[in-house]
Structure 1
Amino acid sequence: MTAADTPTAETVPVRDAHRFDQTKLQAWLTGQLEGLGSTLEVLQMRGGQSNPTFLLHSGDREWVLRKQPPGELLPSAHAVDREFRIQKALADTGVPVAKMYLFCDDRDVIGTPFYVMERMRGRVFENLTLPDLSKEERWAAFDSMNETLAKLHLVDWKALGLEDFGKPGSYFSRQIGRWSRQWEASKQREIPSMDALMEWLPKNIPDGDESTLVHGDFRLGNLMYAPDKPKVVAVFDWELSTLGHPLADLGYNCMPFHTTPEEFGGLKGLDLAALGLPDEKAYIAAYCERTGRTPFDPTFYIVFSMFRMAAILEGVYARGVSGIASNSTATTVGAMSKPFAERAWALAQG
């Protein structure tokens, strides 16, 4: 076993369900990926509930590969082509993203479409209380997250040639329909709160419509911070990105203020001031100041985001049950769909 084959804190040996012909991959990369040597070693990254992610090592160079998972997929899910396109388009906008190198849609290479991107170095925080940082650094880390989201929503997507990246307008109507269908397609059990939300949401869409680039999964765990300061250097996992309503992103980003530490590591019930973290009101106010938005009631946007999250988690749970999940914790993580739906319905009821 070489050093590159040795699992680390962020990698594991390639899981059986995600093995592919590495010889074919190396042959396809040869002549296209600058710096590729005569050997190629592959490990699987621990993250990536949806699209399996791998660390490629050749000589003294490293890259990251993301691919669609194997098996039958839900319509429009696991869109690695969109991930590649949006990150490539954002390269010079000020939104921090990894550099994109190659995209392959030839399934004969490793079984599913994939792309290769820059191997980023930095820190990824899953714990929202940021225990390894000082109080001052925690506030700065949340502020950098807020700043990054605002930058994304201020991007001129038409100037980037992304007019066809989504359908401008009526975002919530379309998304409620989409995630209702996804829920029905992947559900493993009956959750009455989901039925109630599917009825409540279409009737409570706020007035006004707008379109920006949206990430779709904008949260602390999908950000990489610099090794030496609390500043975002990369945003990952763009699978759900599209043209949509910016407050859907913000509502999703604010979900942890409404869930407890036991519910997916939320912040509800914690002394945020003592931790050096902003509360929801301050966080939203900072976003509004950066984007020039007047204050608003965030309830609908958070309820919608929790409903959508419940539908996504049920898909993760379904893949875990079927044995094709890209992460060994899929069934545990996916089981959180029920508490998310119940918390969303409670919030909707006031």
Structure 2
Amino acid sequence: MPTTTGMKGGGYYDANSRVQRLTSEALIPWMEEAITDLPEPSPDQQSWNFLDIGTSEGANSINTMNHLIEFVRRKSELPVWALFDDLPTNDFNQMFLNLFPKSAPALSGTAVYSAAIGGSAFGRLVPPKTLHLATTYNAIGFYESKPSATLPNFVIPMIPNPNAPREGVHVSPSELIPFQKQSYQDLYQFYAARAQELVPGGKLLVQVYGKTETQSTGHGIMDVLSDAFLDFVEEDILPRSFYENFIFPAYYRDLDELTAPLQNESELSTAYRIEHTQAYDTRAPFDDDFASTGDRKTWAQSYTSFLRAFTEPVVAEALPDELIEKQLVDKIYQRIEQLLAENPERYEFHFISIAALLTRL
């Protein structure tokens, strides 16, 4: 079973993922380079085949795909298959509405055809040697399956933020080992699946939230989620067992971890050439607005909506049914908004991305 059912639907994720779009747009030069270097499709292929993995509701993915179409049209008028993948539980209705707003196609150009695929990023999605380019943004940060391990004193497999300490909150390096192993195995499966799907000379552009030596994307966002849970535990609204058993199913890799399977596994080291790697920090629009206006309330509302867009499905799935009926999900995010407004410095956020551009050999 996948560790998440997807992002919050109904247009919510699209409306609250501006920072994710900025992280993908930072790689536009890589997209252009990838398209420029692509070999022409073989005679038995009558189209360019592009796949975006982890599409969610689609607005950001469509933006990326339009850039790719723009670049490929400089070299060829062959038809383009624009393929969009996410879990079968994803809100594909919203994605198709985004693809055809007011019945007009959102993808630019002529001879462009779109299709959706329901499937895991960590398995095969298309027939062998059919893809010319595959992209993914953030999707592979989620685990394929939950490791059989516990973290009773924090909500996610990472060392807690040293700038936001709370009594009793801690994770030991040894506790992280099974999660690190699962992360490595997931990444290996992802690269292996794409190696089978890409044509020789095809490109794979990978971006995912991550960490550097000093900062992690989990800093701030996971601190406030943990604090809201613990506040409710102390108020006897949530049982302590909920906090001890809850694990947000994501992992923040560094660049070395992103490329480790490519270097350590002979099957992958002979399948890919690494063209570029990079770690970078994307400034969140709500942080820019806050710096300009100093409006804590608006900042806390926007920050909470951003966080809720990708955490609510996991939180709601973990809560007992009787607590769901008491609107506890709403109350958790109301508490998060309150905590953010009261102490912005404690929950400072940096969207750290790690990325790689690979060529299929």
Normalization by structure 1: what TM-score? 0.29
Higher relative contact order (CA 8 A, sep 6+): 2
